[in-house]
Structure 1
Amino acid sequence: MTMYLTRFSYTPETWKRLIANPEDRRKAATAYVESVGGKLHGFWYAYGSHDGLTLWEAPDNVSMAAVVLAIGSGGAVTNLETTVLLTVEEAMEAMGKAQGISYRPPAAS
């Protein structure tokens, strides 16, 4: 299965609700990804450009996209970004394949 890193921010209204009624959102995140055959590996809150991060795996990009679309459509998060993560072996395989690609920069002769 493929690993994914999702970064998100809560809306001010979501923070207001969580402050009034603190909730462990790992349970919800686990249910979302397990519904497509995946697994939550971690859920963290952060200070910076995003309020939180999740690390999860899913069987394929379509399944993970479905999870992210469902979360994003709920209106509680903003700045939702998901990155597909490659293993070192996958990155090395890509580097090997890149050797056979002849790239020409735009407007280069």
Structure 2
Amino acid sequence: MPLYLSKFSYTPETWARMIGNPEDRRRAAQAYVESVGGKLHGFWYAFGEHDGYTLWEAPDNVSMAAVALAITGGGALGSFETTVLLTVDETIDALRKAEEVQYRRPGA
């Protein structure tokens, strides 16, 4: 199954609610991805541009998109970005296929 790295930031209102009532959001994230047949591999908070990161596994892009849409539709996040991760083997396959693509630079 494909892996996905998500970066998210809470709204100030969400942080205020969590200060008043701290909770472990890993359980919620796990339930969201399991509902589409996936798995949560990790959940971390961070300093910097984003408040947290998650590493997910989902059956396909549509399933992961459904999770992302449900989460962002909830209004607790100010931002949510997801990156599809490729294995080394998938990248090597892509490199081999890229050789077959007849790319031409603009203006060439």
TM-score bracket for the superposition, by shorter chain length:
over 0.9
Gaps of 5+ in 2: none
Give the aligned CA root-mean-square deviation in angstroms: 0.6
What are the equivalent positions in structure 2 for 1:1-109 lying under 5 Å apart?
Answer: 1-108=1-108
Identical-pair percentage: 71
Measure the CA separation in 1 of the matches of 2:11 and 2:58: 26
In the TM superposition, residue 40 of structure 1 has moved relative to its aligned partner by 0.2
Scaled by the length of structure 2, the TM-score of the pair is 0.98
Deviations 1:4-26 (A, max 9, x none): 00000000000000111110000
In the TM superposition, residue 79 of structure 1 has moved relative to its aligned partner by 1.7
Measure the CA separation in 2 of the matches of 1:41 and 1:79: 21
Q: How many residues align?
A: 108
Measure the CA separation in 1 of the matches of 2:88 and 2:77: 31
Scaled by the length of structure 1, the TM-score of the pair is 0.97
